[in-house]
Structure 1
């Protein structure tokens, strides 16, 4: 199982020191991929590089995107980290449950900004939400601390090679890119029939749609079938 399949995604990080510390944590456990979405500081900058210490290579080869959609094109399984329980129909897991994740796939761990964490809209892109067990009266963790806890745990799992997962080799799970393409087609058709009413509820309705499709673990074949259905429905009009 390759560590190159695993990405650590920082959504709107605010502090240069945290970005550098996250890069250092990633390299501590021999991971390679750091992804940043709309970082507040100029990236990279001297403070980020200084804080990363010997992990400048992680910074230099990192990817930066303007939004979450673009960042997920090569992610198969997205795990959103959160200190809060979400009242959503999404699978909530803990560190122990990571043993059940198929790390042969491309897995992304999503971390929110230091000030506000992840919104429900951002969590709606995820297959799972992960909560790190902490003092219930003081749950807030520093961004780099959260990342290093998960990085160490996943590294130990990959080293043990005791991940119980069996699935037919003939069944290929749909990538985030394939699901996004299908979902875009669905939304396009819904927009054409003025489905999202009233307009102010559109963002919430889109969030709910993403929650439905991303948690279904669709195969690439199922995604193609649904894309065909949505395309046919559009032609009927």
Structure 2
């Protein structure tokens, strides 16, 4: 297990100070991979670098993307942080459950913007949602505070080296990119079949489809089989 397998994704962050503080929190626990999606401030800027203090290297090595989908192509497991319980068929976990996550895979923790958090559409790209236990009457945490709690907890798990997985080495779990490509093929064919009716319900239908695909924890072989099925159906219409 390695800290290099873990990324921290800031989705549409609004404040330069928070981005810098997140970089500092990451470096406190020896994490280096920051991903920034569609930031509101210019990235990077002097205020971000100033508030990162000794973690400018984290900022300089970070990757930026215009949308969440692009940011997840090389990630295996995505864990969304949310103060709200979602009424969705998605696995909800607590900090303690992170011990069950296979950190030999590429894992990303996803954080929403300071003002609005994560939407159900963004949650639909994730394997799990994670709630940090807080005062029920005052759940809201600062972005960097949420990150540092999770960074600490993930770091302690990696250092404990107590995880044991009996899964066969011959079974390769599908990457996020493979699942995204399979899902895109499925959606393309469904579109051509005029499946998404009425049109105003298409966004929620897409959310539900992504929830199904990411919850299944498919292998690479299974993803290829399903892609073949979807491609074959498209040819026979």
> TM-score, normalised to structure 2's length?
0.99
| Separation in 2, partners of 1:165, 1:154 | 17
The alpha-carbon deviation at position 147 of structure 1 amounts to: 0.2
Deviations 1:97-134 (A, max 9, x none): 00000000000000000001000000001000000000
Alignment correspondent of 2:151: 151
Alignment correspondent of 2:30: 30
Match status 1:95 vs 2:95? yes
Kindly indicate whether the alpha-carbon contact (under 8 Å) linking 1:101 and 1:165 is maintained by their aligned counterparts in 2: no
Alignment correspondent of 1:59: 59
Aligned-pair Cα RMSD in Å: 0.6
| Separation in 2, partners of 1:136, 1:69 | 32
Deviations 1:82-109 (A, max 9, x none): 0000000100000000000000000000
Kindly indicate whether the alpha-carbon contact (under 8 Å) linking 1:99 and 1:164 is maintained by their aligned counterparts in 2: no
- Residues 108-187 of structure 1 mapped to structure 2, 5 A cutoff: 108-187=108-187
| Separation in 2, partners of 1:235, 1:106 | 34
Alignment correspondent of 1:4: 4
| Separation in 2, partners of 1:112, 1:212 | 22
**Structure 1 runs, 4 residues or longer, greater than 4 Å off:** none
| Separation in 2, partners of 1:24, 1:165 | 32
The alpha-carbon deviation at position 164 of structure 1 amounts to: 3.6
Unaligned residue ranges in structure 2 (runs of 5+) = none
- Residues 43-82 of structure 1 mapped to structure 2, 5 A cutoff: 43-82=43-82
Alignment correspondent of 2:217: 217
Query: Alignment length, in residue pairs?
Result: 237
SS at match of 2:234: helix
The alpha-carbon deviation at position 200 of structure 1 amounts to: 1.1
Deviations 1:1-59 (A, max 9, x none): 11000000000000000000000001110011000000000000000000000000000
> TM-score, normalised to structure 1's length?
0.99
Match status 1:235 vs 2:232? no
